[in-house]
């Protein structure tokens, strides 16, 4: 059963006055038709230093989301499995380590750095799945993502990944602008700052996308997989 | 004298742990070279119901930012005066009331509704100043804004307007993506939700733009106006 | 019956050597699934001076396509009728007379000039049909066209209008880039220069779109209208 | 001394009637301020089969521009040398061989195919020069080119490369849309079809860019290099 529209992680930071102001946004939230999963920046760099508090890992590994990244690993693995079982394409974004020009040598450090932007092994793309290389926060900016979604016949998006207040938000806002009904999966997004995580999900939920819990998303995808098998 | 990098409105909601994580973003923030002011959605709709709490005005006037809008009126008027004195272009965004297709009649209600999206009189564009009509949050999406900025020779932006968590943020993120060094003026941006206002300014300050106080921005613009007059 | 792939207006200017080089582009060309008609710049300005040679009308009416515009009027009217009968949306583009800034007075000349960019009466949009205002050649550049097509569920395009070597070509190239299978209707496009008309249709046909004769397009649209009525 | 505005390769295919219609486009054409060279798709694939007629090389090497590519090699080399001497950045475009998804194996054929899209050795980028990977005709579509030009402070473009009727035209039209004054270098652009080459340069010259001869462009760049050295 679907939980209440405001039954989300931001409950402890958003007060009653704000909820009253945002009351008109209340609506049913569902995965749209012909969806794709858009998996934002699930690269190794976000997991460095291991399953520990961000403040600790961040001293050595700038940009790591620490325990928030690790906590989202299993829900995201389950989300991907459900999407693949339902025949729903997964499109990844990541970046190249250096994008400013041609280099005269292929130093060893380049290979090491590039590895930081490979998708984490447990969530890695399967053969044929698309990886979009971007240079800005949004997966749409300066990339051919919109053209690929058009060619895949995608009509709505399921967004996950990191960071909630960075590339996830920028991508979800652009998805809305391009006219894709979009769902953001709460347990499969993460950030270094919990406050920014919560408030950005709140903003997205009311203005641009529907924030859903991973179990609800997976239940809907499983239903589609069953419908497809029965057909 | 410039205040501390974190001496901003988010001080009471962002804790020490997060500030430590974001310490590497600390830098000097200044208005860039050849700037334009980008004034987001300063239309009548945001001020309806008058200088009262958002919760009160919002019951009757959906979308009004109430007292937050009115509080930003005088600082914004001063910002615009300083920009014009320094010969810095102001580019406005707003929207049309209806954008979905051709209408067979020009009903009177149409004119009344359209008036909601006229720029508030105290801040209205001067002859020759550019107004961009948009249909999405970002002033760049689905508009010729980037082409006009290019033709004006604009190389950096000063962003103000509303709402901080909606069109201001989306426009500032896109400005960063396009490569414009961008300043967001704290006292000249506003939102219905103070929490979203603060956290979005925090996000922007660390990731995409520099949040500056209006007195600092005006002081820098006045300096340029003097330099220009002396030349 | 479909004519040969190269049975088009460019036959008298493209020689055998070029046709041999372009032989690998030979393929079947059809209207795609879930199409919209994209009607480019069918505004009064293109018809000024009447049904006379371009060289003559152009002396007085800069930008008029003269007899080429008038010749395309009836085929385009029939194309629009077939599209509407088949429930296929028509999206128009045009422009505003002046786009550089706010004007202090509404001079009468402004109204007269604006009238130049109204869609020609015989082809005018019906209530509810969408008109996109653009400032550049392509209907996609600096406009929300892509978002509207996404929201309408459009998956392919049928392009007509003027000029073949200007806004039609630029729009068709962008349509291809965004991933829309696109048909250009030969008899419903026109230009001031016949040579540019022919060579641009040749380029489009081989690289970006399929050029079809209007009778073939209408026959396919009529078939869809019958299928729809029978369903 | 600058030659006449219409003293270009299209003289033998564009007749007097068309020239009269296009007379109002006559103007002085110069390299703009703060230019960059945009070098479109100067990759090995365009030169395969050697300095022979396109019809011959094309049988074995689809996409080769044969003798037209080889003829442009020396002028382009000189153009690049003049640009570098004047401190003008060169930005290249090319593509990846395959862009549709992740591959499970790195087959040897992949490396061979990728080599087709390396820039031809004589024209190869120097360390630090930017290469933009694109999937569509225009160097701007689905790429971060606009952001890089903004960050480089580029205000105008000098376009060369191939093909005139494909990626060069699409890139020059987009450059115009974004507001960059643009010059296209006649002897440094090429195509498989001479007719399309000529008519596309004619279209570009009158609507979107100024077509200049390479000796005129180099003379202007040399002048800037001297001014710079003297300063």
Whether the pLDDT of residue C220 is over 70: the answer is yes
Residues B150, D180: C-beta atoms closer than 8 Å: yes
Task: Closest CB to A101: pick one of D99, D128, D147.
Answer: D128
Whether the pLDDT of residue D105 is over 70: the answer is no
Check if B104 contacts A (Cβ < 8 Å): no
Claim: this prediction has a pTM higher than 0.80? yes
Residues C179, A147: C-beta atoms closer than 8 Å: yes
Query: Could you tell me which residues come within 8 angstroms of residue C180 by beta carbon, excluding any fewer than 6 positions away?
Result: A150, C32, C149, C154, C155, C156, C157
- Give residue C148's pLDDT band: very low, low, confident or very high (50, 70, 90): very high
Kindly report, residue by residue over B197-229, the tens digit of the pLDDT. 999 999 999 999 999 999 999 999 999 989 888
ipTM: 0.95
B105: nearest CA partner in chain C: C127
Return the beta strands (E) in B129-181 as ranges.
130-133, 156-162
Task: State how far the Cα of A20 lies from the Cα of A179, in Å rounded to an integer.
Answer: 27
Q: What is the pLDDT of residue B1?
A: 53
- Among B82-96, B150-164, D110-124, the minimum mean pLDDT is found in D110-124
| DSSP run (H or E) holding C178 | helix C169-178
Kindly report, residue by residue over C80-133, the tens digit of the pLDDT. 999 999 999 999 999 998 877 777 655 555 566 889 999 999 999 999 999 999
List the chains bordering chain D where 3 or more Cβ pairs fall under 8 Å. A, B, C
Residues A147, D142: C-beta atoms closer than 8 Å: yes
Q: What is the pLDDT of residue D99?
A: 78
Cα-Cα-Cα-Cα torsion A22, A24, A25, A26, nearest 10 degrees, comes to 110
3-state secondary structure chain A: CCCCCCCCHHHHCCCHHHHHHCHHHCCCCCCCCCEEEEEECCEHHHHCCCCCCHHHHHHHCCCCCHHHHHHCHHHHHHHHHHHHHCCCCEEEEECCCCCCCCCCCCCHHHHHHHHHCCECHHHCCCCCCEEEECCCCCCCCCCCHHHHHHHHCCCEEEEEEECHHHHHHHHHHHHHHHCCCEEEEEEEEECCCHHHHHHHHHHHHHHCCEEECHHHHHHHHHHHHHHHHHC
pLDDT, chain D, mean? 94
- Give residue B102's pLDDT band: very low, low, confident or very high (50, 70, 90): confident
Check if C128 contacts B (Cβ < 8 Å): yes
Q: What is the pLDDT of residue D135?
A: 96
Task: State how far the Cα of B104 lies from the Cα of C212, in Å rounded to an integer.
Answer: 33
Please give the structure tokens belonging to residue C177.
Answer: 């880039």
CB contact at 8 A, D130 and D106: no
DSSP assignments along B177-229, one per residue:
HHT--EEEEEEEEE-S-HHHHHHHHHHHHHHT-EEE-HHHHHHHHHHHHHHHH
- Among A62-66, A195-199, B99-103, D84-88, the minimum mean pLDDT is found in B99-103
A144: nearest CA partner in chain C: C178
Task: Closest CB to C18: pick one of D137, D195, D200.
Answer: D195
Mean pLDDT of C9-36: 96
Q: What is the pLDDT of residue B104?
A: 64
Beta bridge partners of D212: D185
Check if D25 contacts C (Cβ < 8 Å): no
Task: State how far the Cα of A155 lies from the Cα of A181, in Å rounded to an integer.
Answer: 7
CB contact at 8 A, D70 and D50: yes
Residue D93 has, within 13 A of its CA and on its CB side, a CA count of 30
Residues in B touching A62 (Cβ below 8 Å): 24
Active site residues of D: 167
CB contact at 8 A, A96 and A116: no
Closest-CA distance, C144 to chain A, in angstroms, reads 8
Q: What is the pLDDT of residue C114?
A: 85
Whether B9 sits among the annotated catalytic residues: the reply is no
Whether the pLDDT of residue B140 is over 60: the answer is yes
Check if C195 contacts D (Cβ < 8 Å): yes
Residues C102, B129: C-beta atoms closer than 8 Å: yes
CB contact at 8 A, C184 and C170: no
DSSP conformational letter for C122: G
CB contact at 8 A, B217 and B158: yes
Sign, Cα dihedral of C149, C152, C153, C155 = negative
Whether the pLDDT of residue D100 is over 90: the answer is no
Kindly report, residue by residue over D39-68, the tens digit of the pLDDT. 999 999 999 999 999 999 999 998 899 999
């Amino acid at each position: 059963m679907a939980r209440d529209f405001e039954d989300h992680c931001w409950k402890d930071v958003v007060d009653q006055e704000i909820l009253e102001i945002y009351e008109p946004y209340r609506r049913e939230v569902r995965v749209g038709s012909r969806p794709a999963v858009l998996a934002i920046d699930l690269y190794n760099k976000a997991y460095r230093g291991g399953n520990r508090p961000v403040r600790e890992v961040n001293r050595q590994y700038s940009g790591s989301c620490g325990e928030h990244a690790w906590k989202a690993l299993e829900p995201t693995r389950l989300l991907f499995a459900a999407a693949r079982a339902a025949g729903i394409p997964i499109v990844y974004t990541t970046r190249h380590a250096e994008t400013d020009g041609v280099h005269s040598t292929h130093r060893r450090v380049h290979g090491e750095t590039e590895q930081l932007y490979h998708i984490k092994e447990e969530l890695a793309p399967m053969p044929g799945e698309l990886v979009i290389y971007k240079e800005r926060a949004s997966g749409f900016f300066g990339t051919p993502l919109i053209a690929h979604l058009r060619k895949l016949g995608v009509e709505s998006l399921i967004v996950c990944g990191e960071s909630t207040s960075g590339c996830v938000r920028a991508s979800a806002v652009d998805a809305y602008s391009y006219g894709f009904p979009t769902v953001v999966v709460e347990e499969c997004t993460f950030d270094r700052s919990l406050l920014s995580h919560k408030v950005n999900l709140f903003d997205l939920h009311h203005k641009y996308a529907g924030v859903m819990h991973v179990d609800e998303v997976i239940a809907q995808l499983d239903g589609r997989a069953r419908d497809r098998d029965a057909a």
